[in-house]
């Protein structure tokens, strides 16, 4: 099936130029050609009889871009893509765009702006919407543009452009921006309101108005004046070309917003890092001072962001379909989260019957058609995923013959797709700068939908191959084609002229979008969030297997970020996002305007709940972060379904196993004989997954390892640490609770951890409402290993392990540990650490709880100061006793200093005795006070 390979000089030159970005040759030759990519190839012309991007009538479309933007790769699948993709022939402007807190829609006269604050429930109660409704339209007097084009864009902002030959208008809008920044010529600034406004402030060039119950501020250049005439408000620009407006959280916020009215946002950029088990991301805006010297701004953070930042926030908030947005007064903020680990497969455990598993594996390997007739991109991908999951499973039980047979099947099918001229191939669209697989499916060709879903399976399968055959994955072999799929879907480069930066992933929204054209009144949408994270997990595995740490860390950032967005916006984990009038605990689809308990193809509850779990892989562990959420999700499925799952029972059993492995195992044991696996699943994988988790316990996502290919599982208080080392030398993996695991080269290892306890002491700021380091220097001990400023937790108790009859005075032994990270504070002169605890040894004799407090001043993993206090000799009478710092310090090391993203830890252990004791949590009698302000 090898095609005749032709490589024009123009294509070769561009390939050389783009090789610097590290993702392989480019795809924009000057003439029609087949382009080599290592051992593979693709074309720049579609196969005969196929289509590329079209509008709703089937007519071909090209991007709507200004001259300034015509050579930039368009980030299709974004929140604003309808500006560039004219899906409907009679709408050359845009469909509604949901920036949050503001919503927008381009029209002939300018930009409609709305701030929806009241949800509506539609679709028989299955969908909630904060639908766009224009409060006002920003434009220029007389503007009547025939279309709107995309003039510029950055990571989460965009600049629409209007021109009618006399007047031109550019506006900059974006996620989290309470401002709209406008530049115009040929007319006065014009604001047309949906109804006559109420003026609450008038200071010449600054006007405060209320319309439709929402407060706005209008800003024209200094020396100009707004004129209100009914629903029309105008201002001359006084020889300038700029003006702006802002939605105000309250009328008394006008002074604050006025300060930043002429600090125009000109761009947005996210940067990320993944190290030590923590993913950090910084979201930055660039600004230009149109008047004066102010370069700061205001930005509204989504819930998934403010839960994980320790940066200062104002008291201002906004309503959004994603819950409350909180406002920061700065041009940047940083989030920090424990990384979501990925493993190639769950590890081998003794509870798995290898003979039974081998039989299940042979059912797949020896099937007459392991690909089940799949020919298009999506269903081929599903089959690739099913086989790829089983390769490491076969390997770990010594079935190398089955492993190699499956590897052969994967290689053969991928190589068919990665070679131009056969029944299946990839073709580069030079207008839209995208790689389309043919045969396509679900509009991946005509609407540019779902590339990240489909291609995730190809990258995942390639990563599994690379684990066993690095030569196959080399750039000179098939790795370049894999990287081209990555460039299409998750390109980390902003300078690659052949593909856009992170096509499908909306860095500010925290998740991907599926529609290539965004041509809906409800904005863009995403249904299968878990197929999006499948791509992120694939990047972690591919980057790890090929030594590309930048792609590995990109995958870790995407997976960690999106998994939190899924918890909040698909599963409403904290039950703070969905409107109270919406009668569901989970949704199948998230829209720009809200979310829906539905799928694109069925209203069957099994699919609604299952679509955000598949495919279940070693990258799915994040789904088990909150066990109560899993149980609530499945309970709703059974209520809506009228009983347990039937069609997708295997997926939902595996999902349940992430929270309650024993229950899932009981269901598997009772029902495994009489079901047909979901198309991307197999009995081999389902059996191994459920049985392994039943042995190890559910994943504990509160602990992470210092490589992304690691995970922790907990059963009956015992942690099992798992890591896969792709390197050529042995290494020690360190987990965030101090546990370590030695992992041989190119191997998976498991263990109970050396040097660490069974409970992770760490937490991200804001993991629970009120936790974190927002304010205050007094922390309550919270069961589960957290120090928190929250005062609304329930009282509880934790067990302090026995000293096992050995004198542990001064040295922590099996400590019960409490910790908080990302703490900022200024050392208070003359102050010192204090604590107030209640402990109880019951009737046990000779016990002595002891405390150590440690400070890591910069969060780099090294504790700069430790303070060990004398132990407290308990009495043998049941009842709480008070233990405070008044016992005196036994030993101190290091010096205190200011905390900058630091970590504070309290450890308590029994220094003496043969019995356990108890420590109270969750009350004002269980606190640590640090000497900081």
- 820: helix, coil or strand? strand
Q: In the predicted model, what is the mean pLDDT of residues 376-394?
A: 98
Is the model's pLDDT at 13 over the cut of 90? no
Which pLDDT does position 759 carry in this prediction? 26
- Say if residue 895 is exposed, middle or buried (CB neighbours under 10 Å; 0-12, 13-18, 19+): exposed
Check if the beta carbon of residue 889 is closer than 8 Å to that of residue 800. no
Is the model's pLDDT at 210 over the cut of 80? yes
- CA distances 887 to 121, 797, 859, 895, Å, are 60, 22, 29, 21
- Max Cα distance, the chain (Å): 91
Lowest mean pLDDT among 90-99, 493-502, 756-765: 756-765
CA dihedral 348, 354, 360, 363 (to 10 degrees): 110
Is the model's pLDDT at 17 over the cut of 60? no
Is the model's pLDDT at 3 over the cut of 50? no
Q: What are phi and psi of 774, to 5 degrees?
A: -60, -50
> Is 450 among the catalytic positions?
yes
> Is 654 among the catalytic positions?
no
- Provide the H-helix boundaries in 697-826: none
489/503 Cα distance (integer angstroms): 5
Beta-strand ranges (E) seen in 145-296 are 148-153, 157-163, 168-174, 179-185, 189-193, 198-203, 206-211, 214-219, 227-229, 232-235, 242-248, 263-275, 278-289
CA atoms within 13 Å, Cβ hemisphere of 474: 7
Rounded (5°) CA angle 824-825-827: 150
Is the model's pLDDT at 10 over the cut of 80? no
Q: Which residue has the tokens 């007047």?
A: 167
- 812: helix, coil or strand? coil
Is the model's pLDDT at 18 over the cut of 70? no
Which of these is catalytic: 425, 429, 527, 856?
Answer: 527
Rounded (5°) CA angle 437-609-441: 15
Plot region of 547 (φ>0 → left; ψ -120 to 50 → alpha; else → beta): left
CA atoms within 13 Å, Cβ hemisphere of 268: 24
Tens digit of each residue's pLDDT (9 = 90 or more) over 420-473: 999 999 999 999 999 999 999 999 999 999 999 999 999 999 999 999 999 999
Q: Which residues pair with 839 in a beta bridge?
A: 881, 919
Tens digit of each residue's pLDDT (9 = 90 or more) over 335-379: 999 999 999 999 999 999 999 999 999 999 999 999 999 999 999
Lowest mean pLDDT among 398-412, 725-739, 767-781, 838-852: 767-781
Lowest mean pLDDT among 198-212, 727-741, 746-760, 857-871: 746-760
- 211: helix, coil or strand? strand
Which two tokens mark 110? 């300018």
558/554 Cα distance (integer angstroms): 6
Which pLDDT does position 775 carry in this prediction? 38
725/676 Cα distance (integer angstroms): 35
Which pLDDT does position 492 carry in this prediction? 97
Compute how many other C-beta atoms are within 10 angstroms of the C-beta atom of residue 647: 16
Q: In the predicted model, what is the mean pLDDT of residues 252-264?
A: 98
Which pLDDT does position 21 carry in this prediction? 34
927/637 Cα distance (integer angstroms): 41
Check if the beta carbon of residue 838 is closer than 8 Å to that of residue 919. yes
Which pLDDT does position 793 carry in this prediction? 64
617/595 Cα distance (integer angstroms): 26
Name the nearest CA neighbour of 462 among 385, 530, 553: 385
Is the model's pLDDT at 9 over the cut of 70? no
Which pLDDT does position 422 carry in this prediction? 95
Check if the beta carbon of residue 167 is closer than 8 Å to that of residue 140. yes
600 pLDDT band, cuts 50/70/90, is: very high
Rounded (5°) CA angle 668-669-673: 80
133/136 Cα distance (integer angstroms): 9
Check if the beta carbon of residue 527 is closer than 8 Å to that of residue 536. no
Q: In the predicted model, what is the mean pLDDT of residues 811-823?
A: 92
Strands 263-275 and 278-289: antiparallel
Lowest mean pLDDT among 14-23, 143-152, 681-690, 898-907: 14-23
Which pLDDT does position 792 carry in this prediction? 62
Compute how many other C-beta atoms are within 10 angstroms of the C-beta atom of residue 434: 28
Question: CB under 8 Å to 362, separation ≥6 — which residues?
Answer: 402
Which two tokens mark 721? 């640490």
DSSP state letter for 567 = I
Question: CB under 8 Å to 359, separation ≥6 — which residues?
Answer: none
**Distance from chain centroid for Cα 256:** 31
74/85 Cα distance (integer angstroms): 9
Tens digit of each residue's pLDDT (9 = 90 or more) over 619-663: 999 999 999 999 999 999 999 999 999 999 999 999 999 999 999
The more confident residue out of 860 and 205 is 205
Which pLDDT does position 32 carry in this prediction? 61
Which pLDDT does position 484 carry in this prediction? 98
922 pLDDT band, cuts 50/70/90, is: confident
Which pLDDT does position 755 carry in this prediction? 42
Name the nearest CA neighbour of 280 among 784, 765, 769: 765
Compute how many other C-beta atoms are within 10 angstroms of the C-beta atom of residue 644: 15
Name the nearest CA neighbour of 825 among 790, 878, 776: 776
Which two tokens mark 829? 């002169």
Query: What's the chain's length in residues?
Result: 933
Which pLDDT does position 347 carry in this prediction? 96
128/161 Cα distance (integer angstroms): 31
Name the nearest CA neighbour of 386 among 678, 609, 624: 678
Strands 589-591 and 594-596: antiparallel
Check if the beta carbon of residue 164 is closer than 8 Å to that of residue 148. no
Is the model's pLDDT at 757 over the cut of 50? no
Which two tokens mark 685? 């994988």
137/440 Cα distance (integer angstroms): 40
- Say if residue 676 is exposed, middle or buried (CB neighbours under 10 Å; 0-12, 13-18, 19+): exposed
Q: How far apart are the first and last CA of the chain?
A: 70
Name the nearest CA neighbour of 463 among 561, 542, 350: 542
Q: In the predicted model, what is the mean pLDDT of residues 599-616?
A: 97
Which of these is catalytic: 44, 155, 506, 531?
Answer: 531
- CA distances 183 to 70, 165, 178, 180, 295, Å, are 20, 16, 17, 10, 17
Tens digit of each residue's pLDDT (9 = 90 or more) over 19-78: 333 454 333 434 568 999 999 999 999 999 999 999 999 999 999 999 999 999 999 999
Cis peptide before 615 (omega within 30 of 0): yes
Check if the beta carbon of residue 740 is closer than 8 Å to that of residue 733. yes
Which pLDDT does position 16 carry in this prediction? 30
Which two tokens mark 834? 């204090």
Which pLDDT does position 2 carry in this prediction? 26
Q: Which residues pair with 180 in a beta bridge?
A: 245
Name the nearest CA neighbour of 852 among 919, 786, 928: 928
30/714 Cα distance (integer angstroms): 57
Q: Determine what percent of the chain is predicted with pLDDT higher than 70.
A: 94
Which pLDDT does position 923 carry in this prediction? 83
Q: In the predicted model, what is the mean pLDDT of residues 103-126?
A: 97
Compute how many other C-beta atoms are within 10 angstroms of the C-beta atom of residue 790: 17
Is the model's pLDDT at 758 over the cut of 60? no
DSSP state letter for 622 = G
566/609 Cα distance (integer angstroms): 13
Check if the beta carbon of residue 307 is closer than 8 Å to that of residue 240. no
Q: What is the mean pLDDT of the chain?
A: 92
Q: Which residues pair with 866 in a beta bridge?
A: 854, 893
Is the model's pLDDT at 4 over the cut of 90? no
Is the model's pLDDT at 481 over the cut of 70? yes
Which two tokens mark 277? 């088990």
Tens digit of each residue's pLDDT (9 = 90 or more) over 557-591: 999 999 999 999 999 999 999 999 999 999 999 99
Enter the pTM of the model.
0.80
Which pLDDT does position 530 carry in this prediction? 98
Strands 731-734 and 881-884: unpaired
Which pLDDT does position 776 carry in this prediction? 64
Q: Which residue has the tokens 């420590």?
A: 919
Which of these is catalytic: 112, 450, 607, 840?
Answer: 450
Which pLDDT does position 198 carry in this prediction? 98
> Is 527 among the catalytic positions?
yes
Strands 881-884 and 899-910: unpaired
Check if the beta carbon of residue 772 is closer than 8 Å to that of residue 766. yes
Which pLDDT does position 701 carry in this prediction? 95
928/933 Cα distance (integer angstroms): 14
DSSP state letter for 305 = H
Compute how many other C-beta atoms are within 10 angstroms of the C-beta atom of residue 829: 7
């Amino acid at each position: 099936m090898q095609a005749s390979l032709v490589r024009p000089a123009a294509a070769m030159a561009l390939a050389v130029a783009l090789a610097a970005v590290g993702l392989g040759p480019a795809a924009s030759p000057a003439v029609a050609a087949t382009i080599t990519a290592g051992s593979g190839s693709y074309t720049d012309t579609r196969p005969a009889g196929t289509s590329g991007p079209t509008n709703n009538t089937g007519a071909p479309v090209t991007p709507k871009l200004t001259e300034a933007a015509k050579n930039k790769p368009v980030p299709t699948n974004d929140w604003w893509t309808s500006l560039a993709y004219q899906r409907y022939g009679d709408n050359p402007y845009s469909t509604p765009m949901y920036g949050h807190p503001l919503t927008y829609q381009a029209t002939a006269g300018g930009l409609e702006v709305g701030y929806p604050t009241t949800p509506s429930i539609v679709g028989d109660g299955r969908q909630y919407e904060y639908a766009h409704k224009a409060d006002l339209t920003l434009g220029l007097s007389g503007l009547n543009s025939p279309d709107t084009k995309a003039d510029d864009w950055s990571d989460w902002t965009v600049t629409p452009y209007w021109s009618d030959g006399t007047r031109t208008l550019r506006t900059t809008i974006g996620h989290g921006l309470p401002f709209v920044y406008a530049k115009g010529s040929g007319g006065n600034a014009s604001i047309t309101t949906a109804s006559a406004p109420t003026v609450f402030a008038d200071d010449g060039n600054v006007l405060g108005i209320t319309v439709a119950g929402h407060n706005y501020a209008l800003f024209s250049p200094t020396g100009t004046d707004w004129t209100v005439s009914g629903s029309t408000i105008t201002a001359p620009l006084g020889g300038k070309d700029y003006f702006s407006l802002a939605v105000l959280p309250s009328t008394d916020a006008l002074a604050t917003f006025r300060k930043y009215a002429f600090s125009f946002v000109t761009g947005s950029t996210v940067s990320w890092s993944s190290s030590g088990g923590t993913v950090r991301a910084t979201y930055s805006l660039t600004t230009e001072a149109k008047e004066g010297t102010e370069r700061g701004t205001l930005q509204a953070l989504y819930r998934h962001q403010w839960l994980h930042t320790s940066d200062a926030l104002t008291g201002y908030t906004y309503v959004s379909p994603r819950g409350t947005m909180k406002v920061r007064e700065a041009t940047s903020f940083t989030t920090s989260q424990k990384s979501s680990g990925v493993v190639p497969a769950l590890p081998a455990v003794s509870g798995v019957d290898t003979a039974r598993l081998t039989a299940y594996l042979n059912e797949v390997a020896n099937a007459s058609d392991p690909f089940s007739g799949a020919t298009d991109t999506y269903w081929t991908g599903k089959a690739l995923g099913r086989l790829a999951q089983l390769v490491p499973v076969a390997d770990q039980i010594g079935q190398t013959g089955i492993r190699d047979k499956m590897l052969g099947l994967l290689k053969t099918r991928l190589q068919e797709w990665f070679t131009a001229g056969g029944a299946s191939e990839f073709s580069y669209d030079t207008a839209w700068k995208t790689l389309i697989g043919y045969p396509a499916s679900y509009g991946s060709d005509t609407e540019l939908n779902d590339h990240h879903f489909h291609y995730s399976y190809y990258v995942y399968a390639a990563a599994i191959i690379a684990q066993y055959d690095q030569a196959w994955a080399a750039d000179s072999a098939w790795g370049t084609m894999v990287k081209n799929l990555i460039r299409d879907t998750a390109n980390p480069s902003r300078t690659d002229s052949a593909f856009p930066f992170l096509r499908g992933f909306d860095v500010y929204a925290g998740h991907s979008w599926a529609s290539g054209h965004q041509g809906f009144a409800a904005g863009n949408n995403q249904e299968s969030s878990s197929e999006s994270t499948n791509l992120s997990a694939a990047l972690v595995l591919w980057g790890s297997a090929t030594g590309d740490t930048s792609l590995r860390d990109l995958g870790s950032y995407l997976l960690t970020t999106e998994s939190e967005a899924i918890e909040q916006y698909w599963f409403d984990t904290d039950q703070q996002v969905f409107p109270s009038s919406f009668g569901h605990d989970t949704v199948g689809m998230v829209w720009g305007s809200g979310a829906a308990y539905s799928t694109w193809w069925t209203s069957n509850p099994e699919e609604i709940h299952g679509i955000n779990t598949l495919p279940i892989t070693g990258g799915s562990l994040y789904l088990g972060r909150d066990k109560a959420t899993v149980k609530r999700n499945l309970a709703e499925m059974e209520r809506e379904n009228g009983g347990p799952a039937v069609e997708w029972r295997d997926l939902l059993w595996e999902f349940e196993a992430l929270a309650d492995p024993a229950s899932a195992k009981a269901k598997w044991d009772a029902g495994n004989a009489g079901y047909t696996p979901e198309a991307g699943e197999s009995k081999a994988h389902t059996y191994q997954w459920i049985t392994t988790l039943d042995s190890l316990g559910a994943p504990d996502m509160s602990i992470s390892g210092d490589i992304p290919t690691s995970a922790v599982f907990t059963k009956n208080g015992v942690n099992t640490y798992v890591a896969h080392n792709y390197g050529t030398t042995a290494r020690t993996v360190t987990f965030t609770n101090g546990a370590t695991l030695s992992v041989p080269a190119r191997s998976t290892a498991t263990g109970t951890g050396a040097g660490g306890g069974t409970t992770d002491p760490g937490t991200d700021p804001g993991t629970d409402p009120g936790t974190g380091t927002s304010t205050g220097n007094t922390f309550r001990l919270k069961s589960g290993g957290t120090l928190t400023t929250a005062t609304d937790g329930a009282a509880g108790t934790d067990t302090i392990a026995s000293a096992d009859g050995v004198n542990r005075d001064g040295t922590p032994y099996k400590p019960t540990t409490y910790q908080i990270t990302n703490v900022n504070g200024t050392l208070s002169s003359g102050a010192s650490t204090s604590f107030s605890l209640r402990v109880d040894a019951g009737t046990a004799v000779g016990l002595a709880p002891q405390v150590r407090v440690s400070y890591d001043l910069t969060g780099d993993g090294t504790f700069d100061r430790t303070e060990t206090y004398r132990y407290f000799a308990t009495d043998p009478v049941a009842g709480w006793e008070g233990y405070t710092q008044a016992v005196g310090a036994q030993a101190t090391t290091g010096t205190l200093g200011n905390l900058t993203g630091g970590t504070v830890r309290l450890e308590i252990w029994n220094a003496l005795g043969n019995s356990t004791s108890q420590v109270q949590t969750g009350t004002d009698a269980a606190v640590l006070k640090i000497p900081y302000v």
